[in-house]
Amino acid sequence: MKVGIIGGGAAGLAAAHTLAKLGHTAEVFESAPFLGGQASTFDVGGGRLERGYHHLFMSDTHMVDLIHELGLGHKLQWIESKVGLFHGGRIWKFSTPKDLLTFSPLSIQDRIRLGMVTLYLQKTRNGLKFEGETASEWLRKRVGQKAYEVVWQPLLRGKFGEHYEEISMTWLWGKIYLRVASRGKVWEREKLGYPMGSFGEVFDRLGERVEELGSNVNISTMVSSVVVEDGRAKGLVVKTGESKEESRSYDAVVDTTPSYVFTRLVPPLPDSYSRKLTDVTYLSAVLLILELDRPLSPMYWMNIADRELPFVGVIEQTNLVDRSLYGGKHVVYLTNYPSRENPIYRMEPEELAQEYIGHLGKINPEFDPSWIQAYHHHKVDAAQPIIGVNYSKRIPDLRTPIPGLYLANTTQIYPEDRGTNYSVRLGQEVARAVLEDAGIGT
């Protein structure tokens, strides 16, 4: 078979790799000048850093297996994570049950209750049992109003903004279940994986492998539409220059773009399927990445449970991996998840830096702006779909109503949350669906 694939991120490249290994031809088209999508990288201190922070959990077996298959397993390291919560003007350790027991903003009864509920969620294997209730409703009942207001409400509000009360409890279960899967035992610290060379190197190598197997990967190449003839997907119209377009024929087409992009590329779809695409709300990731001459905090991952701060997370990359990867610089992400209408999304880099940097003294009272050697501003659109209640009934199928046309994007990763591991799994699944529909065994 010959399959056209729109998007050179984790899902698109994984689909191409799966097809190419089985002797089929895939052609990948990526509009950006680089591969990797949301896991793509840029240069910091002579090393490669993800535009949006990434790591692996020990349960991320699809991505781990792929890294080893590509010959990069020796670069994958597993490191104990340091997790913190910023509340009440100070950083609290939040890595182990012992840390929770010393979290004095909550009464001992509330701490025990919060710990027992967390343990219950960690031990629950089927998170779909929670999908009929929002996280805010479920948590208020189980952990109590005080623990909800101190710990969970600020985090949900920070992550999902005005949509925070819509989020399904299944989504939150997935986040908690993943974290315990990255611990050897419940009382141990979680271990996170990182390929020392970056995720960008992994996806570049995956693109090279696809081409070694006889398929093609094209960057800086825009797809303007999907060709549908006699009710079936037959190809793609590809922009080959500023004003030139070329039609290419395929036996099947796989689209890995966000749903709102997909709807622009295809003819009108039946209402029942189209509604599943248009009803999805996405939030963007806005990141300010600092290069410092010293550490900001002792934590790798710090959730901000203080609404006075304009960012929702502080991820200090060099508290997970050695700063020698970035020319000795200390690297810190300040992150937020706004809608595209939010003022934070619309701020120029200089405005955002001014807004954020003024609050870093609350994280570290010794902080001085002179610590900043450089900063970088990145926006990642469609970074987080809003996952509401009973979402399993609204997931668009991989097989679209147009024969030969398939969709594989982050709205279909459920009940797990978005991430490179599940995008790789999705890419492999959609490749198998293409071959199954063509009557070809895998």
- Yes or no: say if 286 and 348 are a contact pair by the CB < 8 Å rule: no
Q: Clarify whether residues 243 and 287 are in a common domain.
A: no
Q: Of 127-131, 190-194, 253-257, where does the model show the most confidence? A: 253-257
Boundary (domain end) residue, out of 135, 151, 184: 184
282-313 pLDDT per residue, tens? 999 999 999 999 999 999 999 999 888 999 99
What residues pair up with 237 in beta bridges, in sequence order?
Answer: 225, 247
In a domain, 81, yes or no: no
In a domain, 273, yes or no: yes
- Cα 233 → chain centroid: 29
Q: How many domains does the chain have?
A: 3
Q: Clarify whether residues 46 and 60 are in a common domain.
A: yes
Distance CA 200, CA 204 (A): 6
Residue % of the chain over a pLDDT of 90: 81
Boundary (domain end) residue, out of 130, 155, 184: 184
- Yes or no: say if 55 and 313 are a contact pair by the CB < 8 Å rule: no
Domain harbouring 312, CATH code: 3.90.660.20
From residue 313, give the alpha-carbon distance in Å to each of 11, 13, 187, 302, 360: 26, 29, 24, 6, 12
Looking at residues 318-339, what average pLDDT do you find?
A: 96
Domain harbouring 421, CATH code: 3.50.50.60
Looking at residues 359-366, what average pLDDT do you find?
A: 97
Q: Please, which pLDDT band fits residue 160 given cuts at 50, 70 and 90?
A: confident
Q: Clarify whether residues 276 and 359 are in a common domain.
A: no
Q: Clarify whether residues 288 and 364 are in a common domain.
A: yes
In a domain, 312, yes or no: yes
pLDDT at 186: 53
Distance CA 378, CA 284 (A): 10
Domain that residue 41 falls in: 2-74+197-280+389-437
Which segment of 71-80, 85-94, 156-165 scores lowest on mean pLDDT? 156-165
Q: Clarify whether residues 158 and 135 are in a common domain.
A: yes
What's the whole-model pTM score? Answer: 0.94
Q: Clarify whether residues 275 and 286 are in a common domain.
A: no
Domain harbouring 121, CATH code: 1.10.3110
b/e code 240-253 from CB counts within 10 Å (16+ = b): eeeeeeeebebbbb
Looking at residues 338-365, what average pLDDT do you find?
A: 95
In a domain, 80, yes or no: no
Mean of pLDDT over the chain: 93
Which segment of 121-125, 148-152, 272-276 scores lowest on mean pLDDT? 121-125
Please say if the pLDDT value at position 182 is more than 70. no
Q: Clarify whether residues 288 and 381 are in a common domain.
A: yes
Q: Clarify whether residues 167 and 246 are in a common domain.
A: no
Please say if the pLDDT value at position 112 is more than 90. yes
Looking at residues 80-101, what average pLDDT do you find?
A: 92
20-36 pLDDT per residue, tens? 999 999 999 999 999 99
